[in-house]
Structure 1
């Protein structure tokens, strides 16, 4: 005969009761992931010189990109996820001394690098900003055009981030996103995912292009706030 201690009797009674009632104990359900989360790539933090490869201007047709974004003398531009400042310095030359380029990155080393680069190249209209993964920290009502060059796929919470961005935009501001098709973790993201998220964040698509690279994988999308 098996002897049961009081705690064992209680456990056995509970188990019998569950079976009798047709109820099985279950573990607490895991909380559902936030709706805006999807696979993302780890933000790049390595050698910044990789962004300076020869012929990048021609391959990306960056002058045409700036034309489509309405980047002209006197405009204020944001380079979100600026990296080495490759685009920042080109935009700074385009907008001239009456315009401003806000070079934003979440990597403090990149921000320092861009500051030194702007000083070396005598571009006093480049203003560096150290943002956070969930807040670009751009000044209110300051941006006429913004470009995210191969960085959108690194944003873990894109919808709240892009909603927060509304406050920094001037009326008629244009948001450009250049990225490549991928699964989210391979430094790329499906174009349809970007369209869906930007719509949820309060933006409308005004232009879609595929000229920024000849491999058929890149896309260039332009949005404006609704």
Structure 2
């Protein structure tokens, strides 16, 4: 006669309890990703890993992005020369704004593509008009959201954010979605004004330290590659999606 196999009731209760605790822990992590305090000047009052997220510069700041002395101040040509790309690379310029970088990267990837990602309708309309007027065939606008750049999975070789990351309302979610969009060994490049240098005349919340950037990207699965020291006032921070 076969003996029936009785599942121990105590073990059943233990497993249910354990699963419940794990679910609560996961929800707790999600809730604890951000904290909130009284906003400081130019801040949102929302904090990620100890850093207050700055207010966003709206598209009304387009003239500042296109200022004539930007090359001299930021060394744009040096930054472009050091991009980790080839002629076939697919690049996503997140927070593209007026397309200052997007339209300068496009000739460097003649067999590839540039996704100019924006969440502001004004910026998307401006970029589309410029694409049409310049007859550029390898720049495509993408309407993103606060939590996602809305890029196809495993499609991008390089994501670049130029003085944008510190303004992201949901940096963890954006980084997780960038991770999905990058190909294996794909890279993410952050250009951020150096927060370690008080002589750089930029509002404090619109600058970042190398250590803080490393901390946040490591927490979202990225491996640090290098920080180019060749720009006058910005970090040139490259991270990689591990294969």
Q: How does the TM-score come out when normalised to structure 2?
A: 0.72
List runs of 5+ in structure 2 lacking aligned partners. 1-30, 36-46, 197-202
Paired residue for 2:75? 61
**Residues 1:225 and 2:238 are matched in the alignment:** no
- Distance of 1:122 and 1:55 partners within structure 2: 26
- Going from structure 1 to structure 2, the CA distance change for 1:175 and 1:32 (only over 3 Å counts) comes to closer
Paired residue for 1:205? 224
Q: How does the TM-score come out when normalised to structure 1?
A: 0.77
Paired residue for 1:18? none
Deviation at 1:212, TM superposition (A): 2.1
- Distance of 2:77 and 2:194 partners within structure 1: 23
Deviation at 1:134, TM superposition (A): 1.0
List runs of 5+ in structure 1 lacking aligned partners. 1-30
Q: Tell me if structure 2 keeps the 8 A contact 1:105–1:111.
A: yes
Deviation at 1:101, TM superposition (A): 0.3
Matched position secondary structure for 1:39: strand
Paired residue for 2:61? 47
Bigger Cα Rg? 1
Q: Tell me if structure 2 keeps the 8 A contact 1:59–1:212.
A: no
- Distance of 1:172 and 1:125 partners within structure 2: 23
Relative to its length, the structure with more strand (as a share) is 2
Figure out how many residues of one structure are paired with residues of the other and give that number.
192
Deviations 1:139-168 (A, max 9, x none): 222111111000010013222320121111
- Distance of 2:146 and 2:190 partners within structure 1: 17
- Distance of 1:48 and 1:176 partners within structure 2: 22
CA-based RMSD of the aligned residues comes to 2.2
- Going from structure 1 to structure 2, the CA distance change for 1:56 and 1:185 (only over 3 Å counts) comes to closer
